[in-house]
Amino acid sequence: MCRHLAWLGRPRSLAELMLEPPHGLVVQSYAPRRQKHGLLNADGWGAGFFDLPEGSVPRRWRSPAPLWGDASFASVAPVLTSHCVVAAVRSATVGMPIEASATAPFTDGHWLLSHNGVVDTAVLPTCSGAESVCDSAILAASIFTRGVEALGELVAEFGAADPNARLNVLAANGSRLLATTWGDSLSMLHGADGVVLASEPYDDDPRWVDIPDRHLVDAHGGEVSVTALEGTR
């Protein structure tokens, strides 16, 4: 299972979000605290961000190498600043390719999307435009085709079709974050300056709350809602 993170709020640097916290994504890439599947997240990393509140092209930087060894990213990350970020470190599922195009975040040009988990792609609707044969890339293309706004319903549908699926998905479009829990952990820190969603807390701030399994988080306009997914109440 990978570890992922999203931020929506005041502009923050990628270093502040990913590299500087005591248990940030770079530490989670070799010493995650809550990972149930896999020990390391060494099969690549990705960071995506928006430069305007809405309507802007998402910018991405992805690599198939471990985040901890990327000195170039570490040198630039302090000046890459955004109000809306999706980032991930990857532990590839057995049989999946290790390549930048298999690494989250995926995009349709409007949304950035990360998947923490595994899914049998045979249960997904036929779609085109997947960036890789990796299950997460095909899942992302399916969600883009059906509409990210319906993320909660889609995860419940795909999860019902594949009982072994784990479907923690994070998506952002510059002004809204959507996230599901389906088989793995997710925590939230909602402060005055914004909201961060992460597979596990990146520090020991007591304001972190755990999102229960099979829930949808929807954050926009300073408001956050957490609701049980359809059919699982």
* Residue ranges binding ligand GLN (CB under 6 A): 1-2, 90-93, 96, 102, 115-118, 134-136
Minimum distance from CB of 115 to ligand GLN (Å)?
Answer: 6
Shorter beta-carbon distance to ligand GLN: residue 29 or 173: 29
Q: Are 82 and 117 in contact (CB under 8 A)?
A: no
137 vs 18: CA distance, rounded Å: 22
Shorter beta-carbon distance to ligand GLN: residue 2 or 154: 2
Minimum distance from CB of 199 to ligand GLN (Å)?
Answer: 9
Beta bridge partners of 106: 113
88 vs 75: CA distance, rounded Å: 18
41 vs 33: CA distance, rounded Å: 12
| DSSP string computed for 5-59 | EEEEEEEEEHIIIIISSTTSHHHHTT--SS-SS-S---S-EEEEEESSSSSPPPE
Beta bridge partners of 189: 196
Instruction: Look up 134 and say whether it is catalytic.
Output: no
Beta bridge partners of 197: 6, 188
Spot the catalytic one: 2, 84, 127, 134. 2
Minimum distance from CB of 117 to ligand GLN (Å)?
Answer: 5
Minimum distance from CB of 195 to ligand GLN (Å)?
Answer: 22
Residue with the CB atom nearest ligand GLN in the bound state: 93
Shorter beta-carbon distance to ligand GLN: residue 100 or 224: 100
Minimum distance from CB of 91 to ligand GLN (Å)?
Answer: 4
Shorter beta-carbon distance to ligand GLN: residue 89 or 219: 89
Give the length of the chain.
233
Q: Is 207 helix (H, G, I), strand (E, B) or coil?
A: coil
Element of type H or E holding 138: helix 135-146
Would you give the DSSP letter of residue 148? Answer: G
Shorter beta-carbon distance to ligand GLN: residue 62 or 190: 62
Active site residues: 2
